[in-house]
Amino acid sequence: MQPGKAIQSRIFRGLSTQASGPQPSDEQQKPDHTILTEYVSGRTRIFTSLPTGAGSGRGSKQSPSSPLTSPLSWQWLQPQSSQMGRKASRWSQKRQKLLNLGVFSGLRQSMREMFLPVGYPESVHECYAKFHAWLFLETYVGSAIGVLCSQAMLASLGLGEAEAAGGAVAIQWVLKDGIGEVGKLFFIKRFASSFDSHPKTWKMVCEGFSSVGSALQLCTAYVSPKFFLPLAATGNMFELIHYSIWAASHMTFTRNFALSGNVGDIVAKDDAQMSTAHLMGMISGVGLISISHDPTFLFSAFAILSPLNIWFTYKLLKTAQFEILNQAKLTLLSRSYIDTGKVVDIDDLKDREFMFGEFIKKIPGRGGIAVNIKLGAGADKAFRGAGEVERIVEVMRNENYLINYHNNCMWVMFHDDAESNDVIKSVLHSLRFHDLLTSQNADKEHDWDKYAQAMNESLQWTREKFPEFVASLDSKDWQSDSVYWNDSGVRVEWDRPQKTEDF
pLDDT of residue 204: 93
Task: Provide mean pLDDT across the span 296-314.
Answer: 91
Task: Provide the residue type at 429 as one letter.
Answer: H
CB 195 within 8 A of CB 245: yes
**Do you know the residue count of the chain?**
503
pLDDT of residue 249: 84
**Rounded CA separation 59/502 (Å):** 40
pLDDT of residue 154: 62
Task: Sketch the domain layout of the chain as residue ranges.
Answer: 7-87+330-484, 114-321
12 has a pLDDT exceeding 50: no
pLDDT of residue 350: 86
Mean pLDDT of the chain: 76
CB 199 within 8 A of CB 313: no
C-alpha to C-alpha distances, 385 to 35, 44, 382, nearest whole angstrom: 11, 19, 10
Give the model's confidence band at 437: pLDDT under 50 very low, under 70 low, under 90 confident, else very high: very high
Which pLDDT tens digit goes with each residue over 375-426?
Answer: 988 888 888 887 888 889 889 989 999 999 988 899 999 988 889 999 999 9
CATH of domain 114-321: 1.20.1250
Which of the two residues, 69 and 463, has the higher pLDDT score?
463
- Please name every residue paired with 373 in a beta bridge, in sequence order, or none if there are none: 410
pLDDT of residue 130: 84
**Rounded CA separation 170/347 (Å):** 53
Which pLDDT tens digit goes with each residue over 43-73?
Answer: 556 666 655 444 434 555 544 334 355 666 7
pLDDT of residue 315: 92
pLDDT of residue 456: 94
Which DSSP letter does residue 258 get?
B
467 has a pLDDT exceeding 60: yes
CB 209 within 8 A of CB 238: yes
Encode burial over 447-473: b for 16+ CB neighbours within 10 A, e otherwise: ebebbbbbbbebbebbeebbeebbebb
Torsional sign, CA 450, 452, 457, 462: positive
pLDDT of residue 121: 74
SS3 of 136-195: the string is HHHHHHHHHHHHHHHHHHHHHHCCCCHHHHHHHHHHHHHHHHHHHHHHHHHHHHHHHHHC
356 has a pLDDT exceeding 90: no
Burial of 83 (0-12, 13-18, 19+ CB in 10 A): exposed
Can the peptide bond before residue 121 be classed as cis, meaning omega within 30 degrees of 0?
yes
Region of poorest pLDDT, from 77-91, 188-202, 336-350: 77-91
CB 479 within 8 A of CB 325: yes
CB 42 within 8 A of CB 79: yes
107 has a pLDDT exceeding 80: no
328 has a pLDDT exceeding 80: yes
CB 411 within 8 A of CB 40: no
Helix 128-157 × helix 168-191 angle, to 10°: 140
Q: Is 77 left (phi over 0), alpha (psi -120 to 50) or beta?
A: beta
| 211: CB partners within 8 A, 6+ apart | 306, 309, 310
Secondary structure of residue 39 in the 3-state scheme: strand
- Please name every residue paired with 409 in a beta bridge, in sequence order, or none if there are none: 372, 406
Picking from 420, 339, 341, the residue whose alpha carbon sits closest to that of residue 375 is: 420
pLDDT of residue 70: 61
Give the model's confidence band at 498: pLDDT under 50 very low, under 70 low, under 90 confident, else very high: low
Task: Provide mean pLDDT across the span 240-253.
Answer: 86
- Please name every residue paired with 483 in a beta bridge, in sequence order, or none if there are none: 325
Give the model's confidence band at 157: pLDDT under 50 very low, under 70 low, under 90 confident, else very high: low
Which pLDDT tens digit goes with each residue over 179-199?
Answer: 877 888 888 778 877 888 889
**Rounded CA separation 330/420 (Å):** 11
Encode burial over 136-169: b for 16+ CB neighbours within 10 A, e otherwise: bbbbbbbbbbbbbbebbbbbbbeeeeeebeeeeb
Q: What is the largest CA-CA distance in the chain?
A: 85
Picking from 281, 270, 308, the residue whose alpha carbon sits closest to that of residue 140 is: 281
Whole-structure pTM value: 0.70
pLDDT of residue 368: 75
